Amino acid sequence: MKHTTLNRIGFQFLALLLAFGIASLVLLAVGASPAQIYKDMFGSLGTKGKIADVLVSWAPLLLATAGLLITFAAGLWNIGVEGQITFGAIGTTLVLRLLQNSAMNAGFIIALSIFAGMLAGALWAALAGALKTFGGVNEIFGGLGLNFVATALTIYLVFGPWKRPGTGSMSGTQPFPEQFNLPLFEGLRLSPWALIVAVVGIVFVSFLLQGTYFGLRLKAVGKNFRAAYLLGIPTWQYMMFSFLLCGALSGAAGALQVTAVYHRLIPSISSGYGYLGLMVAMLVNYQAIAAIPVAFFFAALNIGSIQLPIVHKLDSSFSGVLQGLLVLFILLAEGARQRLTPKA
């Protein structure tokens, strides 16, 4: 047992080395110095403000990952998560728009709008789930198509019915009055509420998957659909429910993007957290709690790469390259370990 763990760590270390090695070659190809780039990326994270910025993107990323761990357990590739975040943001914006002139307590309205975001995310996920269950449309394609539809809907709203006074622009809708923003830490862009929601989300999922009978049966559905069905587990209901839960959690991520970060609806409101969440979920493989540090590391790479266009005139997509290479080599290393390690 101990031997296996050591073995695994060795292979993962090798994967890390290879990923950074290839990424360095990519940097050399555009004439940059890898040492300098890594130093600038990670060095820029030294200040309190930057750490707060990392946490600002950590919270929605963690929520999306939490949702995806549920659909992963059910054996589903919920690529539609990106659209579920977007649709959640739309739901939140809708409720805030409807109620911002009402006499209700602002805090209550925010809570209501976040709830609406979760509902909207679940709704969008239910659509992908229904297409899969009743239409035979693979969730990868259904979800992907719905992602593009959700983005188009956002753009339509931003430029059409919800455009800011004057002409609509890519900078989004009119920002909401300050009382409808989640409170921030003094002098930072980070809201404590975002952190609380994210941590509650991941702990909930961890408990659900590791500590409940439901989680166990859900994993049975994911591991062997046919066997689970024969065992009497209502398989399609379980799958549908996992879609709903994932949609609600990613909808919460979208709601936070509106209430805690942008205070309005913008065209790229999901910020790619859905796709990034898929990668994090692949890496942590059922170990929900492990998503906390992994998502933090990925968020840090995102924030660190903001420096690249400013200082080095390089595209910030480098963080995506590095994240992708890391996941790829970890997957390959796991395969190599299983192949090279003699079975006991």
DSSP string, 23-44: HHHHHHHTT--HHHHHHHHHHG
Q: Which residue's CB is nearer to another protein, number 122 or number 131? A: 131
Binding flags for another protein, 136-165, as an x/- string (CB under 8 A): xxx-xxx-xxx-xx-xx--xx--xx-----
CB of 101 to another protein, least distance (A): 27
| Residues listed for the chain | 344
CB of 149 to another protein, least distance (A): 6
199 is a site residue for another protein (CB under 8 A) = no
339 is a site residue for another protein (CB under 8 A) = yes
CB of 48 to another protein, least distance (A): 29
332 is a site residue for another protein (CB under 8 A) = yes
If you ran DSSP here, which 8-state letter would residue 235 be given?
H
Among 15, 118, 194, 327, binds another protein (CB under 8 A): 327
Q: Where are the alpha helices (DSSP H) in the chain?
A: 2-29, 34-43, 48-73, 81-99, 106-135, 139-159, 192-211, 213-223, 225-230, 235-256, 273-284, 291-304, 307, 318-340
CA pair distance 146, 153, nearest whole angstrom: 10
67 is a site residue for another protein (CB under 8 A) = no
Q: Which residue's CB is nearer to another protein, number 26 or number 199? A: 26
Sign of CA pseudo-dihedral 211, 253, 68, 278: negative
Applying the rule CB under 8 A, the residues between 77 and 106 that interact with another protein are 77, 79
Give the residue carrying structure tokens 């719905």.
146
CA pair distance 291, 277, nearest whole angstrom: 9
185 is a site residue for another protein (CB under 8 A) = no
Q: Which residue's CB is nearer to another protein, number 144 or number 306? A: 144
| Count of residues of this chain found to bind another protein when the rule CB under 8 A is applied | 48
Give the residue carrying structure tokens 């989300």.
201
Applying CB under 8 A, the span of 37-45, 49-57, 102-110, 314-322 interacting with another protein comes to 314-322
CA pair distance 10, 333, nearest whole angstrom: 9
* Dihedral angle over CA of 136, 140, 143, 149, nearest 10: -110
Q: Which residue's CB is nearer to another protein, number 115 or number 236? A: 236
Chain positions contacting another protein, by CB under 8 A: 26, 29-30, 77, 79, 131, 134-138, 140-142, 144-146, 148-149, 151-152, 155-156, 159-160, 275, 278-279, 282, 314-315, 317-321, 323-325, 327-328, 331-332, 334-336, 338-339
